[in-house]
Amino acid sequence: MTFHEIFETYTSVAVFGMSTNPSKPAHYVPAFMMEKGYDVIPINPVAEEIAGRKAYKTIADVPEKIDILNVFRPSEQCLEVVEEAINRKRRTGDIQLIWLQEGIINEAARKLAEENGIDFIQNHCMMKEYNML
- What mean pLDDT is predicted for residues 53-57? 98
- What mean pLDDT is predicted for residues 56-84? 98
The model carries a pTM of: 0.97
User: What is the distance between the alpha carbons of residues 90 and 77, in angstroms, rounded to a whole number?
Assistant: 21
Q: What pLDDT is stored for residue 48 in this prediction?
A: 97
**Three-state DSSP string of 77-103:** HHHHHHHHHHHHHHHHCCCCEEEECCC
Contact in structure between 8 and 21 (CB atoms under 8 Å): no
Contact in structure between 103 and 29 (CB atoms under 8 Å): no
Residue 9 — pLDDT band, cuts 50, 70, 90?
very high
In eight-state DSSP terms, residue 133 is -
- Report residue 120: phi and psi, to 5°: -145, 130
Q: Which CATH architecture has domain 3-64+94-132?
A: 3-Layer(aba) Sandwich (3.40)
Q: What pLDDT is stored for residue 89 in this prediction?
A: 97
Collapsed DSSP state (helix, strand, coil) of residue 131: helix
In eight-state DSSP terms, residue 60 is G
Contact in structure between 68 and 119 (CB atoms under 8 Å): no
Q: What pLDDT is stored for residue 12 in this prediction?
A: 98
Contacts (Cβ under 8 Å, ≥6 apart) of 101: 25, 26, 29, 70, 71, 72, 124, 125, 126
Domain definitions of the chain by residue range: 3-64+94-132
Q: What is the pLDDT of residues 88-132, one digit of tens each?
A: 999 999 999 999 999 999 999 999 999 999 999 999 999 999 999
